[in-house]
Amino acid sequence: MRVLGAVLTGGRSSRFGSNKAAAVWGERALADHAAAALAPFVEEVVRAGGADGVPDLPSPDLGPLGGIAGVLADAARRRFDSVLTVACDMPQLPGELVEALLRRAPSFCSDAPVLGHWPVALAEPLIAWLTAGGRRSVRAWALDTGALPVASPVTLANVNTPADLAAL
């Protein structure tokens, strides 16, 4: 099974005050840490959203679901079977959680729904959901698809503010 990794980088970062994806922790940007966390589990890692990422679908500014829809459609065109997604503000991932998500698609982390494993067959239904004005909640969409919620064995780092970054 071909799995594409995708780091969601298109958010507004309003609570952070600047582009979270580019915020530096250690010597790397948060998005680079998230990509490195996915890399051992996937064939390739791309960015979804933002200026240099796979474009959101069906249009920009739809939140994480627009990024997920865009990368699912891109992955389908490139003949991947599924996509493993993570937000750029999640620089550390427990391997056992990622492995649990990869056992079944669709599945998502019940503690952070943007961390999920999605079959590319969900691209068109998600685009239709967003076009019809469906809720922009990743959790609501995931549950609507019958995705399996998987709990994290540890508290996940989620950087929403500069204080969160400093606390890592």
Is residue 20 predicted with pLDDT exceeding 90?
no
pTM: 0.94
Distance from C-alpha of 152 to C-alpha of 36, rounded to nearest angstrom: 19
Give 14's pLDDT tier (boundaries 50, 70, 90): low
CA end-to-end span of the chain: 34
State residue 65's pLDDT score: 96
Cβ atoms within 10 Å of 29's Cβ, excluding its own: 19
Tell me the per-residue pLDDT of 26-76, one tens digit each, with 9 for 90 and over.
Answer: 899 899 999 999 999 999 999 999 888 999 999 998 999 999 999 999 999
Q: How many domains, in total, are found in the chain?
A: 1
Give the CATH number of the domain where residue 22 resides: 3.90.550.10
* HEC sequence for the chain: CCEEEEEECCCCCCCCCCCHHHCEECCEEHHHHHHHHHHHHCCEEEEECCCCCECCCCCCCCCHHHHHHHHHHHHHHCCCCEEEEEECCCCCCCHHHHHHHHCCCCEEECCEEEEEEEEHHHHHHHHHHHHCCCCCCHHHHHHHHCCEEECCCCCCCCCCCHHHHHHC
* pLDDT at 18 exceeding the cut of 80: no
Candidates 64, 47, 60, 40; CA nearest to 7 is 47
pLDDT digits (tens, 9 = 90+) for 101-150: 999 999 999 999 999 999 999 999 999 999 999 889 999 999 999 999 99
Residue 3 zone, left/alpha/beta (φ > 0; ψ -120 to 50; rest)? beta
Q: Is the pLDDT score of 85 beyond 80? A: yes
Query: Residue 129 belongs to what domain range?
Result: 3-167
